[in-house]
Structure 1
Amino acid sequence: MQIQLLVFVTVVEKKNFSRAAESLNMTQPAVSQQIHSLEDHYGVKLFERNSKRVELTRAGEILHDYAVQILNLHQEARQAINDLVGLVTGKLMIGASLTIGEYVLPRLLAVFTRQFPDVEVAVSIGNTEVIADNALNSRIDVGLVEGPVNPANLMITPFLEDEMVLIVPSRHRLASVDTAETSDLSNETFIVREVGSGTRYVVEEVFRTLEFHPKREIQFGSTQAIKEAVEAGLGVAFISKWSIQKEIQLGTLSAVRVKGHSFPRPFSVIWKKGQFQTRAMKEFVNLTGSSDFLTALEKGSFPSPLE
């Protein structure tokens, strides 16, 4: 029955018998046979078929809801048994906001995969809003975010302290100073992230704290693009200290503090409240707060003049 339900759910997802067969590494006649067997078992028609796609009948819609639950419960049961005998296996779906995904998660995964090589890891990258939504809708097991999220249905645990610093090109007038006055920023163009980004939210908080609003902003969709824009002389930016270690070492960017101010922020682990936690997920969450990860992060980063 499990294989029949798996075939049924895959046909629903692919909306096509041929694509479902390809996804399952089966022949199309074999897929059709499994669906016919399922229809015979329940005594109902599950799909309305036409030449291009298949649509669920009302009975099919009802069965689909239960089939997804049954398959998920089966996976949870298998994972729980593996946990009992001490095996850390299965698939771990991780979501990360862009700064974390580009500059922190690779070092975290380097430690995790060495310790648990039998876990299949899948990573998706998006801004904080996207990652929080994916966690709430169970599209990922665990998320790593840099911005605030609604705590109503999410568990939120800070795991790493970040700091937003001002970056300027190496030949900028502020490149040779340790601290700048707020007034020094008045005529600068600021390079910022898109709305919905955790970095964008924090940068707006920085501007409010400084009681300052840029006269001109240019928006980019990633931290890497912001760094390259600043290097090219398009403007200046507030950015995560973890994202500029190489550029500081190479001398292509300079980091400056604003006199009398610091702008710390936490990176956080999130997951859906009440979610079943596999052993792999538990080990990953535990690793984010471990000394092994912090040591790997420090060894992998270049020394910063701000430290």
Structure 2
Amino acid sequence: MKLMKGGKGMNMTIIQMEVFVKIVETKSFTKAGEDLGMTQSAVSHAISSLESAMGFQLIIRNRSGAVITTNGEKMLAHIRNILRHTELMKQDAKSIMGLQKGKVRVGSFESVMINWMPDIIGQFQQQFPDIEVELIEGDYQDIIQWLLDGRLDLGFILETERMNVEFQPLKDDHLSLLIPCDHPLSKEREPSIEQVASYPFIMPKKGCDEQVRRMFKAEDLDPDVRFVIKDVHSIIAMVKSGIGISIMPELTLPKHMDMIKATRICKEVYRTIGIAAPAFKRLSPAAGKFFELTKALVGNT
């Protein structure tokens, strides 16, 4: 690859850019080399050559690892964009030749990774054994940012009002009230929100809390929040001990919970899970196949 600037040649290669991005992601020359199947000296040479072509330093090595420079940050989005378009070009060329090869990078949060991904990956590998799938786990905002940065082709996220990516709804994940089996509300078929608000409450953290807080606010209720906890198993243990009741999405709950009753409340409340991309029309052939298979599988669950 040869880019012209000011009448002089700026010689860069795809592998040099791949090395740069991998170092940024792993924060390590050694790990980047392992992931790319290169020696550490080859990795160092690639970065040195790229920096020479750019005319400034991209990576600083210190005791904590490899750190991207300010100038490197400015170049990162451009380089990721070049690599994404290069992958698109490769896959389109293979598609023209009738081959089903390529790579798709998918981001997912924990409950989707546990409940949906095994079936999706299993089916996808059966149908497209020559397409590599790279999975990256993160929270919803991380996944949206990775999509915008070009690190991911597709990502599973929740539908929100503040999305700047394209979104395809897949499934409504209903919220369930968690109560001990001997709790007074266990006798109610579908407890009211007012009843829930009158007992000590354990608020789920990050991701689930938005819908729960909105539900109470819509009824002008102020729940008795005793704790705000992120880990699902910790919430379940505290509910079982009688410390408080909670509300969690059904997809996050284990299949069996001893001494705990999970029931829906009288007002239907749910979060919508879907799959997102910067632009569905610009998906690579491999990502397009993953997208279509996911819609077919999850839509039938």
Give the TM-score normalised by structure 1. Answer: 0.74
Q: Work out which of the residue numbers 72, 85, 88 in structure 2 matches 1:76.
A: 88
1:236-295 C-alpha deviation (Å, 9 max, x unpaired): 122222333612xx6543123333x211332121111377311221122222321x4444
How far residue 32 of structure 1 moved from its aligned partner, in angstroms, is 6.1
Q: Secondary structure at the match of 2:272?
A: strand
For residues 152 and 181 of structure 2, the distance between their equivalents in structure 1, rounded to whole angstroms, comes to 40
Q: In the superposition, relative to structure 1, how do residues 243 and 33 fare at CA in structure 2: closer, same or farther (>3 Å)? A: closer
Q: Work out which of the residue numbers 160, 179, 192 in structure 1 matches 2:171.
A: 160
For residues 45 and 106 of structure 1, the distance between their equivalents in structure 2, rounded to whole angstroms, comes to 46
* One-letter amino acid of the counterpart of residue 155, structure 1: E
Q: In the superposition, relative to structure 1, how do residues 103 and 229 fare at CA in structure 2: closer, same or farther (>3 Å)? A: farther
1:256 aligns with 2:267: no
Which deviates more from structure 2 when the two are superposed, residues 66-75 or residues 262-271? 66-75
Aligned to 1:231: 240
1:222 aligns with 2:231: yes
Q: Secondary structure at the match of 1:175?
A: helix
How far residue 48 of structure 1 moved from its aligned partner, in angstroms, is 9.2
For residues 83 and 65 of structure 1, the distance between their equivalents in structure 2, rounded to whole angstroms, comes to 27
How far residue 220 of structure 1 moved from its aligned partner, in angstroms, is 1.7
Q: Work out which of the residue numbers 273, 276, 293 in structure 1 matches 2:279.
A: 273
Aligned to 1:282: 288
Contact 1:167 1:256 in 2 (8 A): yes
* One-letter amino acid of the counterpart of residue 284, structure 2: T
Q: Work out which of the residue numbers 186, 192, 196 in structure 2 matches 1:181.
A: 192
Q: Secondary structure at the match of 1:164?
A: strand
The alignment of Structure 1 onto Structure 2 pairs a total of residues equal to 286
1:154-193 C-alpha deviation (Å, 9 max, x unpaired): 1011111221121212232222431223443244222223
* One-letter amino acid of the counterpart of residue 175, structure 1: S
1:126 aligns with 2:138: yes
Q: Structure 2 unaligned segments of length 5 or more: list them.
A: 2-10
For residues 144 and 172 of structure 1, the distance between their equivalents in structure 2, rounded to whole angstroms, comes to 35
1:193-217 C-alpha deviation (Å, 9 max, x unpaired): 32xx331111112112333221223
Q: Secondary structure at the match of 1:258?
A: coil
Q: In the superposition, relative to structure 1, how do residues 104 and 31 fare at CA in structure 2: closer, same or farther (>3 Å)? A: closer
For residues 127 and 166 of structure 1, the distance between their equivalents in structure 2, rounded to whole angstroms, comes to 23
For residues 57 and 208 of structure 1, the distance between their equivalents in structure 2, rounded to whole angstroms, comes to 43
For residues 235 and 209 of structure 1, the distance between their equivalents in structure 2, rounded to whole angstroms, comes to 22
Q: In the superposition, relative to structure 1, how do residues 3 and 114 fare at CA in structure 2: closer, same or farther (>3 Å)? A: farther
For residues 66 and 186 of structure 1, the distance between their equivalents in structure 2, rounded to whole angstroms, comes to 50
* One-letter amino acid of the counterpart of residue 247, structure 2: F
* One-letter amino acid of the counterpart of residue 261, structure 2: S
1:124-145 C-alpha deviation (Å, 9 max, x unpaired): 3333222222222222211112
Q: Work out which of the residue numbers 99, 108, 118 in structure 2 matches 1:106.
A: 118
Contact 2:84 2:150 in 1 (8 A): no
How far residue 74 of structure 1 moved from its aligned partner, in angstroms, is 2.4
Contact 1:154 1:273 in 2 (8 A): yes
Q: Structure 1 unaligned segments of length 5 or more: list them.
A: 298-307
Aligned to 2:183: 172
